[in-house]
């Protein structure tokens, strides 16, 4: 589900804690959008939902997910058809409602639920099962990156997307999770009033630039190929590499010794971020 992350909409974020994966990627204007991935949940309020950008499709496809959005950029509209993405678009599908009680412009008031998504999925005869392996290799054992030769303390993590958007995390040793902040302000759920947390953080450095022929400042992402990044969990970080061979293929995250990473059982934020955007430390 595409999630609006402009500052005026952020106080009304709902349902992100139920997502087992959340991607954050830059869009036009130096802001970011989120894509929340759900499985086996019955979340009653998710949003606010927003329009598609074409490179988010690559990450929906690698999870074999039904892609939910409200509108689309011209490139995303074309690519959804070309790539054969099972999508639900609020422009045509009754997947959302408006919460007019919010003190924000109407474009930021659209919310959905797993039930509404499931109802439309059934009407469209989309698959609801998959034979695709999970993107990440989970383990019930706690991952201890301090034992890695290049592991380093990472109780404070900051990812700077632009001059206006910085996402950061602060590790809670007792709970063994990272508390999430945006621009040094706690990122809190509108319904539960609780701050969002992450068990795992993956940072993949991916360069972006202006989309050719687009007059609205939309971005393109150089996410096919290989690159560097970091895996962060349980208070430590290690450098990793990422590899994505096609738009539909799964991204593979590996340690520097070539072994595919294992992740702690729990939710994960994947920060697709600009080069040299990461700061970690105590």
Radius of gyration of the CA atoms of the chain, in A? 18
In this structure, what is the dihedral angle of CA atoms 76, 80, 81, 84, given to the nearest 10 degrees?
160
The model's pLDDT over 35-65, given as tens digits with 9 standing for 90+, comes to: 999 999 999 999 999 999 999 999 999 999 9
Name the DSSP letter for residue 49: B
Judging by DSSP bridges, how do beta strands 268-273 and 110-112 pair with one another? unpaired
**Predicted local distance difference test score (pLDDT) of residue 108:** 97
Q: Which two tokens stand for residue 65?
A: 């997910």
pLDDT class of 282 with cuts at 50, 70, 90? confident
User: Does residue 239 register a pLDDT over 90?
Assistant: yes
User: Does residue 122 register a pLDDT over 90?
Assistant: yes
Whether residue 280 contacts residue 152, with contact meaning beta carbons closer than 8 Å, is answered with yes
**Predicted local distance difference test score (pLDDT) of residue 215:** 85
List Cβ neighbours of 220 (8 Å cut-off, separation of 6 or more). Answer: 55, 208, 209, 210, 211, 212
The model's pLDDT over 195-237, given as tens digits with 9 standing for 90+, comes to: 999 999 999 999 999 999 888 999 999 999 999 999 999 999 9
**Predicted local distance difference test score (pLDDT) of residue 44:** 98
């Amino acid at each position: 589900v595409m999630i609006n992350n402009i500052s005026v909409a952020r106080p009304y974020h709902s349902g992100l804690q139920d997502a087992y994966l959340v991607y954050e990627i830059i869009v036009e204007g130096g802001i970011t959008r989120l894509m929340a991935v759900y499985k086996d949940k019955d979340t009653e309020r998710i949003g606010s939902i927003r329009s598609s950008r074409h490179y988010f499709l690559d990450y929906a496809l690698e999870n074999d997910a039904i892609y939910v959005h409200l509108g689309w950029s011209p490139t995303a509209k074309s690519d959804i058809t070309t790539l054969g993405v099972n999508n639900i678009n609020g422009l045509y599908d009754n997947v959302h409602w408006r919460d007019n009680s919010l003190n924000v412009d109407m474009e930021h008031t659209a919310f959905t639920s797993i039930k509404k998504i499931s109802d439309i999925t059934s009407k469209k005869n989309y698959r609801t099962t998959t034979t695709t392996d999970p993107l990440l290799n989970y383990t019930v054992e706690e991952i201890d990156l301090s034992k890695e030769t290049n592991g380093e303390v990472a109780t404070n993590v900051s990812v700077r997307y632009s001059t206006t958007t910085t996402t950061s995390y602060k590790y809670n040793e007792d709970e063994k999770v990272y508390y999430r902040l945006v621009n040094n302000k706690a990122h809190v759920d509108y319904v539960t009033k609780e701050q969002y947390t992450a068990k795992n953080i993956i940072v993949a450095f991916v360069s972006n630039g202006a989309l050719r022929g687009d007059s609205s400042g939309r971005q393109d992402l150089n996410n096919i190929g290989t690159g560097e990044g970091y895996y962060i969990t349980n208070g430590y970080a290690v450098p990793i590499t990422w590899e994505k061979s096609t738009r539909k293929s799964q991204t593979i995250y590996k340690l520097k010794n070539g072994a595919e990473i294992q992740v702690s059982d729990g939710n994960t934020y994947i920060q697709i971020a600009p080069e040299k955007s990461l700061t970690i430390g105590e």
